[in-house]
């Protein structure tokens, strides 16, 4: 099992993301976007393609937009070929924004994108832990997971979706995870449970075949039990936190 982790121009979570995959038995490599453009066929040597969080190009033209344009102009055919095979793609935070800007998720039509991520309702950067209700665990990434407790760190995490697209997303069950309150019920766009005002409390989307997961929360930052803010109160016999489950599912998919 091999994973390629994208880096470059402000992506800054590549080391943590690679560590999570390696801990689950993957072999992996961090590849700068320019090196991938120079040698795009190398992507086909991997089973997983991951785009980590960060602030690519400083979010100057909108979060994930400039990197998405760079990928689309230079690599899109190779990524499309990758998606047509039995492989997995993960986009975390800025990676989620990039996949949305590419139209890879939800990927309903050939027109892209169908979804946008805009400024949080609070108008400020939000960095906090959130509860997540898993809406679709038929994707390999979220198999046998009902709830997650993960951190978010973003300023443009609010999903906005046209009504006709919302209906199609609902009908095809493409909402992967939603923000929830402390009782496990949907946040109903109430802050701070929904930290950004995202429509339908959406925290992540999947592609139609479930093999692409785009999520705003950071599973790589909730990998070990001591990553959690209440780690001193927890049973240390459980070495891992909730983010571990997502990477474990990727491993199990290829076993």
Catalytic residue among 13, 154, 220, 227: 220
What is the rounded distance in angstroms from the CA atom of residue 37 to the CA atom of residue 147?
37
The pair of three-digit structure tokens given for residue 191, joined into one six-digit string = 């802050």
Residue with tokens 């990524």: 79
Catalytic residue among 14, 16, 218, 227: 218
Q: Are 5 and 46 in contact (CB under 8 A)?
A: no
184: left (phi over 0), alpha (psi -120 to 50) or beta: left
Q: Are 160 and 93 in contact (CB under 8 A)?
A: no
> What are the backbone angles phi and psi of residue 147, rounded to the nearest 5°?
-140, 155
What is the rounded distance in angstroms from the CA atom of residue 219 to the CA atom of residue 149?
9
What is the rounded distance in angstroms from the CA atom of residue 62 to the CA atom of residue 138?
31
3-state SS assignment for residue 43: helix
Residue 93 designated active-site: yes
What is the rounded distance in angstroms from the CA atom of residue 155 to the CA atom of residue 163?
24
What is the rounded distance in angstroms from the CA atom of residue 80 to the CA atom of residue 231?
41
Catalytic residue among 16, 93, 154, 156: 93
Q: Catalogue the active-site residues.
A: 93, 218, 220
């Amino acid at each position: 099992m091999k994973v390629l982790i994208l880096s470059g121009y402000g992506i800054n979570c590549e080391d943590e993301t690679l560590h999570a995959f390696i801990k689950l038995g993957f072999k992996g490599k961090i590849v700068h976007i320019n090196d991938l453009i120079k040698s795009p066929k190398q992507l086909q040597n991997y089973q997983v393609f991951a785009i980590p969080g960060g602030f690519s190009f400083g979010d100057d033209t909108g979060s994930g937009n400039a990197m998405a344009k760079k990928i689309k102009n230079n690599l899109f055919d190779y990524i499309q070929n990758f998606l047509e095979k039995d492989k997995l793609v993960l986009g975390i935070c800025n990676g989620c924004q990039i996949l949305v800007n590419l139209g890879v998720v939800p990927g309903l039509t050939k027109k892209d994108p169908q979804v946008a991520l805009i400024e949080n309702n609070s108008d400020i950067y939000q960095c906090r832990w959130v509860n997540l209700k898993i809406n679709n665990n038929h994707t390999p990434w979220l198999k046998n997971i009902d709830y997650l407790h993960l951190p978010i760190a973003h300023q443009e995490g609010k999903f906005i979706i046209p009504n006709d697209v919302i209906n199609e997303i609902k009908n095809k069950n493409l909402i992967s995870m939603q923000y929830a309150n402390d009782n496990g019920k949907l946040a109903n766009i109430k802050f701070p449970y929904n930290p950004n005002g995202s429509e339908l409390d959406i925290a992540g989307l999947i592609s139609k075949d479930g093999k692409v997961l785009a999520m705003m929360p950071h599973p790589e930052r909730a990998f070990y039990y001591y990553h959690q803010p209440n780690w001193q109160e927890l049973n240390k016999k459980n070495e891992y936190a909730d983010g571990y489950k997502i990477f474990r599912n990727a491993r199990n998919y290829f076993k």
